[in-house]
């Protein structure tokens, strides 16, 4: 009788282990798919931004191609700051400017001096727009 109870307990432990492993694998799959979705979203945002900039700055095909990965890298960082409810408006602004400062040298290497000046004007306007939007809320 004791042998049967032990066998049942072992079976229960195995089932628990299998369920725990399955749950863990499910979590890994979910987090990986979410990360892929966010990466795809960042690339899509960057592509839209590059297309808009292409018109505003009269970018060449080569410039567009080089600018896309730079903006795709920047997009999730900016999004994270904008969505961080723990940050004050001033903190968000400071973090966004820091991200811009990190990205700007890469952008400057791609653009002509005139395009870069226009780029900086566009960035400043985006920040002003964000501040105005925040004030309106």
Closest CA to 63 of 116, 124, 102, 103: 116
pLDDT tens column, 1-14: 555 566 666 767 77
pLDDT tens column, 18-43: 766 666 666 666 555 444 455 567 67
Which residue is associated with the tokens 């952008």?
A: 107
- Sequence ranges of the domains in the chain: 2-136
Give the confidence band of 135 by pLDDT, cuts at 50, 70, 90. confident
pLDDT at 23: 65
Per the CB < 8 A criterion, the answer to whether 94 and 123 are in contact is no
């Amino acid at each position: 009788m004791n042998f049967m109870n032990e066998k049942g307990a072992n079976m229960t432990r195995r089932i628990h282990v299998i369920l725990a492993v399955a749950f863990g694998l499910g979590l890994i799959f979910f987090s990986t798919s979410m990360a892929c979705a966010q990466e795809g979203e960042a690339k899509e945002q960057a592509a839209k931004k590059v297309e808009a900039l292409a018109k505003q700055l009269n970018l060449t095909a080569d410039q567009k191609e080089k600018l896309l990965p730079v903006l795709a890298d920047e997009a999730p960082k900016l999004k994270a700051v904008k969505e961080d409810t723990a940050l004050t408006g001033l903190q968000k602004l400071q973090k966004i400017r820091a991200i811009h400062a990190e990205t700007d040298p890469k952008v400057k290497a791609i653009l002509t001096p005139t395009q870069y000046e226009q780029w900086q004007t566009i960035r400043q306007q985006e920040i002003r727009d964000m501040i105005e939007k925040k004030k309106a809320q």
